[in-house]
Amino acid sequence: MVMVDIPKSHPRYESLMVREKLVSGFRGGAVACEGLIAQGRGEAFDYILGERTHDVALKAIKAAACVLLLAKKPVISVNGNAAALVVGDIVTLSRLLLCPVEVNLFYRSREREDAVRKILVDGGASSVLGVSDDASERIPGLLHERGRVSASGIFCADVVLVPLEDGDRTQALRAMGKTVVTVDLSPFSRSAQAADVTIVDNIVRCYPLLCSEIERLKGFDDAQLRGIVDEFDNQKNLSLMFTAMRDRLSLAACGGELNG
């Protein structure tokens, strides 16, 4: 529900609508107060990126699609921000990959678990894990609430898609031998640095692209998918993202044309 009437002609219309989704998710109990701060942090990086999906990110999206298609037991982790922003794409991903979605919250409470589950179920999700007693397993070494996971979901998954994440869990999941795909507008973040595949892009732009890429690549055989994954180097990709940001900042510093 949009709280203010934003005219479509407003130059920041798209960005303001994204904000309204989060504020509405916050008012409905799904988004943590801290989730609004996280969005602001992301927006700052998105400005530097020129609010567009770079070729470097497209390469990461392709690798992520291959990793997810090759997975035996993928799981899509969902926090409050992701549910509020991209529920339709989360449901599409779970249908394309025939995998469950799991509620996993840093600021976990029964009320927030239920609010996030409701968004997912209303959005068409058929199997929502990680709510209440279902989140009874623990990721070794993670003492905070994000360490609680479902025995039939993240705990036994081989590949986990964890967007907008704090770094601890990415590292702990990798220590369990899992492959981690993340989405983060900040290439500096610990999760961006620790994941196997990091998509540095806004989740509202890259989740639809990830869905299309999975659709496009699902006819490929495992050897072809594996070849694409083997060619991908996350550290190199992150370096190229930093270079893209540096180039945009240099352009701005020289008074160059930033739109384009």
119 binds ligand PTJ (CB under 6 A): no
105 binds ligand PTJ (CB under 6 A): yes
CA 50 to each of CA 23, 58, 158: distance values in angstroms, whole numbers, following the listed order: 23, 15, 34
Pairwise CA distance, residues 233 & 252, whole Å: 29
In the block, tokens 């964890």 appear at 162
Question: In the window 30-89, what residues touch ligand PTJ (CB under 6 A)?
Answer: 32, 34-35, 38-39, 41-42, 45, 79-81
Residue length of the chain: 260
183 binds ligand PTJ (CB under 6 A): yes
Name the residue type at position 153. Answer: G
Helices (H) and strands (E) in the chain, counts: 10, 8
Binding mask 199-218 for ligand PTJ (x = CB under 6 A): ---xx---------------
Minimum CB distance to ligand PTJ smaller for 199 or for 225: 199
Minimum CB distance to ligand PTJ smaller for 35 or for 100: 35
Q: Is 140 helix (H, G, I), strand (E, B) or coil?
A: coil
Minimum CB distance to ligand PTJ smaller for 84 or for 225: 84
Joined together, the tokens standing for residue 247 give 């180039």
Rg of the chain on CA atoms, in Å: 18
Minimum CB distance to ligand PTJ smaller for 89 or for 165: 165
**Which residues here bind ligand PTJ, judged by CB under 6 A?**
32, 34-35, 38-39, 41-42, 45, 79-81, 105-107, 164-166, 183-186, 189, 202-203
